[in-house]
Amino acid sequence: MRKPALILLLACGALAGLRAPGRADEPAGKVSTPVGKTPTPEQERAFAELLTGAVLEGTWQMTHFAPDQEPVLGEPRSERYTIEKAEKTLDEHWIITARVQYADKDVALPVPVRVIWADDTPVITLDSMNLPMLGTYSARVMFHKGFYSGVWYGATYGGTMSGRVTRPPADKPTQAPERQPGENPTPKP
């Protein structure tokens, strides 16, 4: 079984070649309209500072969607993600550079996302993004007062995630999450 993910943070190396939507080099007709409240420059700066150099520590739960059945969440499992940088590019578009440490892999991946605002609360959004070799995913992850919470969806499965935003001690490097027995060493989609 593939371990689910905070989609916007974990993906394969091919994501490094993606560009943020709405940029000048994008084909005509792909301009998006900002959604939600317009944040102040101070809110955007605070959000970038919250994520840059941060570690997201928490849990995730997976569910499968079957016809004519209520989705049921699985058991909570630990998750840990390192964010190297969060940078606004244009309008509501941002690049979140996530450090992926899993099994023998340790790479930094720039992931293009949209950040919309519900009053003072930033929400990272991903809509039907095709992640090479992983599939198409959507996600919503909100950040408020040092915590995160969200949902993600693939074609027939999805899940929830939540936790806190922390800072690693200056003298201690971040570590890859431990694998559970029998767990696939593939990064979460």
pLDDT in tens, 12-40: 333 333 334 443 444 444 445 556 789 99
Contact 150, 140 (CB under 8 A): yes
**CA nearest 157: which of 30, 27, 75, 61?**
61
- Its pTM stands at 0.70
Contact 137, 153 (CB under 8 A): yes
Q: Supply the DSSP symbol for 69.
A: S
Contact 137, 32 (CB under 8 A): no
DSSP string, 153-180: E-SSEEEEEEEEEE---TTS---PPPPP
Position with higher pLDDT, 18 vs 63: 63
Which of the given ranges, 2-6, 13-17, 150-154, has the highest pLDDT on average?
150-154
Mean pLDDT of the chain: 77
**Cβ neighbourhood burial of 2 (10 Å; 0-12, 13-18, 19+):** middle
* pLDDT value of position 94: 97
Position with higher pLDDT, 108 vs 6: 108
* CA distance linking residue 20 with residue 11, whole number of Å: 15
* pLDDT value of position 78: 93
Position with higher pLDDT, 182 vs 102: 102
Position with higher pLDDT, 169 vs 181: 169
pLDDT in tens, 110-120: 889 999 999 99
Question: What is the percentage of the chain residues whose pLDDT exceeds 70?
Answer: 68
Average pLDDT value for residue range 125-135: 77
* pLDDT value of position 99: 84
* CA distance linking residue 145 with residue 164, whole number of Å: 9
